[in-house]
């Protein structure tokens, strides 16, 4: 493989064929010997063959994680040493930043400027933030009302944790899952998405290089219905952390019933982004563009329902259309690209299917609505698309599209827009654009969402809790909130009499 203008060929990672999986500190092939192909969505061409994990590999990985947990090599390592290893991993990510950015872009399709400027540095940052938590997992002393009792709590790891992640931010999703789990002393089996296994596997090599003990992190690539389902149902897994579709989130929950494993779910969204007439419209329009087109709209928080006050609706819509027309579609690896391809043929069909449904139900596009010239862009590309003449009841206004498609909806009153914004099975995030401080707080209180962004959108930080209301899931990631997901509290009573 030659990619001119980059130092990617310096990486030996893709030269190993197939790319193997990480179990108990060893790089191994699938027990079945099977492999699957992973693609470059910018071209539709095969990038690598990858070992295809299934239930037997999950069994091996769970056994390795269990051994690492029970032997104490990880949970009993001093917190300071655990923190150091997480910090060292962050250093290694930075040392290999360019290689990781290219791998991420080649496998996911996302524009390289975002892999370089966002995905990779934020991944390193996540490990650094949680490196700090390893030494700060404190219990409490409890002033109980029973005489002579000394009562305290310990925060202990949950145990063996299965983590199933999606393909939209492969490296960052791995970091959101691994960093807090490891800081808290758990051992892990990570299953990357079948579309994008490469960067997580390269991360696995760096985990080995950093010096994490064998079996603390196991990475098993494979399909959801096989490897993922086996992990979710495994009787020796204590917890599953999942990010993906609401549909699969429900399956994970059902699979957890056997041994009542703990579950945290970060699922879909249909987030409202609301522009009031007193907003600084120039910023609001740019914000609405970022809210929907960032990562080709393949973001769980995508601002896919754009509510615009009637008095500025036409102005905002023409601004949006104008911006969208200037976005450069291109190969992920091209530094000039603003909008890359969708991740797969399946997502291409899903998104174009929604666009057709929108048109059939009577909505109209002000821009986009189809694929670009496939001779020039042979990958899974869709034009940035803005829908007008939309009704709240239409499919495209209710269901998660997960592509560069926004529906614009006019509104008149504050109470009205809050009610319409909340009329969704989802409640992941929301955006509000206004310079009126009263509206800011009214809306922040009224919106049923785990995150509300005011005069900004898609802000994430390792320190700020993130997660959903309603069918967008439960449990929180990031910040100190995620510690509840990866620890359990033990109460100790000591009779001092």
Shortest approach of ligand NAI to residue 314 CB, angstroms?
30
In this complex, which beta carbon is closest to ligand NAI, that of residue 225 or of residue 356? 225
Output the six-digit token pair for 141: 């002393």
Contact present, 50 and 221 (Cβ < 8 Å): yes
By CB under 6 A, tell whether 194 contacts ligand NAI.
Answer: yes
* 385 three-state secondary structure: strand
Of 225, 322, 413, 416, the one binding ligand NAI (CB under 6 A) is 225
User: Which listed residue (118, 185, 221, 268) binds ligand NAI by CB under 6 A?
Assistant: 268
Q: For the CA atoms of the chain, what is the radius of gyration?
A: 23
Classified as helix, coil or strand, 140 is: coil
Nearest Cα neighbor of 201 from 429, 33, 35, 376 is 35
Q: How far is the CB of 313 from ligand NAI (least distance, A)?
A: 27
Smallest Cα–Cα separation from 19: which of 35, 33, 40? 35
Cis peptide before 382 (omega within 30 of 0): no
For position 303 contacting ligand NAI by CB under 6 A, the verdict is no
Contact between 174 and ligand NAI per CB under 6 A = no
Report the residue closest to ligand NAI, judged by CB: 224
Is 6 or 226 the residue whose CB approaches ligand NAI more closely? 226
- Binding to ligand NAI (CB under 6 A) within 234-253 occurs at 243-245, 248, 251-252
Q: What's the CA gap between 191 and 189, in Å, rounded?
A: 7
Q: Which of 197, 178, 174 is nearest to 186 (CA)?
A: 178
- Asked if 263 touches ligand NAI (CB under 6 A), the answer is no
By the rule CB under 6 A, 200 interacts with ligand NAI: no
Rounded to whole angstroms, the Cα distance separating 277 from 434 reads: 7
Residue 228 engages ligand NAI in binding (rule: CB under 6 A): yes
Cβ burial, residue 7 (10 Å; 0-12/13-18/19+):
exposed
Q: Which of 99, 184, 300, 400 is flagged as catalytic?
A: 300
Active-site entry in 266, 346, 356, 415: 266
Angle between helices 170-183 and 120-133 (to 10 degrees): 10
Shortest gap between Cβ of 138 and ligand NAI (angstroms)? 32
- Is residue 256 a contact point for ligand NAI (CB under 6 A)? no
Nearest to 241 by CA among 285, 289, 176: 176
Tell me whether residue 184 is one of the annotated catalytic residues: no
- Residue of 47, 124, 232, 291 that binds ligand NAI (CB under 6 A): 232
Reading phi first (left if > 0) and then psi (alpha if -120 to 50, else beta), residue 318 is in alpha
Give the bridge partners for 51, in sequence order: 35
Q: Between 36 and 389, whose beta carbon lies closer to ligand NAI?
A: 36
266: annotated active-site residue = yes
The residue among 184 and 200 lying less far from ligand NAI, judged by its C-beta, is 200
Tell which one of 300, 317, 355, 363 touches ligand NAI (CB under 6 A).
300
φ, ψ (nearest 5 deg) of residue 156 = -115, 155
Q: Does 284 bind ligand NAI (CB under 6 A)?
A: no
Told to check if 168 binds ligand NAI by CB under 6 A, we report yes
Contact residues toward ligand NAI (CB under 6 A) are: 164-166, 168, 191, 193-194, 223-225, 228-229, 232, 243-245, 248, 251-252, 266-268, 300, 350, 400, 402
Catalytic residue list: 266, 300
């Amino acid at each position: 493989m030659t990619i001119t203008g980059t130092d990617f060929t310096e990486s030996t990672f893709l030269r190993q064929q197939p790319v193997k999986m990480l179990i108990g500190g060893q790089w191994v092939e699938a027990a079945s010997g099977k492999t699957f192909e992973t693609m470059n969505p910018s071209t539709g061409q095969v990038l690598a063959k990858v070992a295809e994990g299934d239930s037997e590999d999950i069994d091996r990985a769970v056994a390795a994680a269990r051994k690492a947990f029970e032997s104490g090599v990880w949970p009993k390592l001093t917190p300071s040493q655990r923190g150091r290893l997480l910090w060292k991993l962050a250093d290694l990510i930075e040392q290999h930043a360019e290689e990781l950015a290219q791998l991420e872009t080649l496998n996911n399709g996302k524009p390289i400027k975002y892999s370089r400027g966002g995905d990779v540095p934020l991944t390193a940052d996540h490990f650094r933030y949680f490196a700090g938590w390893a030494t700060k997992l404190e219990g409490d002393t409890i002033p109980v009302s029973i005489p002579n009792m000394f009562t305290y709590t310990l925060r202990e790891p949950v145990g063996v944790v299965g983590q199933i992640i999606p393909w939209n931010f492969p490296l960052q999703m791995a970091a959101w899952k691994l960093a807090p789990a490891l800081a808290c002393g758990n051992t892990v089996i990570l299953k990357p998405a079948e579309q994008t296994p490469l960067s997580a596997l390269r991360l696995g090599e760096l985990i080995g290089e950093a010096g994490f003990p064998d079996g603390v992190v196991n990475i098993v690539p494979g399909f959801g219905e096989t490897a993922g389902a086996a992990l979710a149902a495994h009787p020796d897994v204590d917890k599953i952390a999942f990010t993906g579709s609401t549909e699969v989130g429900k399956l994970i929950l059902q699979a957890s019933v056997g041994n009542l494993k703990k579950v945290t779910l970060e699922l879909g969204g249909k987030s409202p982004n609301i522009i009031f007439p007193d907003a600084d419209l120039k910023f609001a329009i740019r914000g609405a563009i970022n809210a929907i087109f960032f990562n080709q709209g393949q973001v769980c928080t995508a601002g896919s329902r754009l509510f615009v006050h009637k008095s500025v609706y036409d102005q905002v819509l023409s601004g949006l259309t104008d911006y969208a027309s200037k976005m450069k579609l291109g190969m992920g690896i091209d530094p000039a690209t603003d909008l890359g391809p969708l991740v797969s043929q399946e997502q291409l069909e899903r998104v174009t299917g929604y666009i057709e449904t929108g048109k059939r139900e009577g909505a109209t596009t002000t821009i986009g609505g189809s694929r670009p010239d496939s001779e020039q862009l042979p990958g899974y590309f869709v034009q940035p698309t803005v829908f007008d003449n939309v009704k709240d009841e239409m499919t495209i206004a209710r269901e998660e599209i997960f592509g560069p498609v926004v529906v614009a909806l006019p509104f008149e009153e504050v109470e009205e827009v809050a009610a319409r914004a909340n009329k969704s099975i989802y409640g992941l995030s929301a955006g509000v654009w206004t310079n009126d401080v009263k509206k800011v707080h009214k809306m922040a209180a009224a919106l049923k969402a785990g995150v509300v962004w005011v005069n900004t959108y898609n802000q994430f930080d390792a320190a700020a809790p993130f997660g959903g209301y309603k069918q967008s899931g439960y449990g929180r990631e990031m910040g100190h909130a995620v510690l509840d997901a990866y620890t359990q509290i033990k109460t100790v009573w000591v009779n001092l009499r």
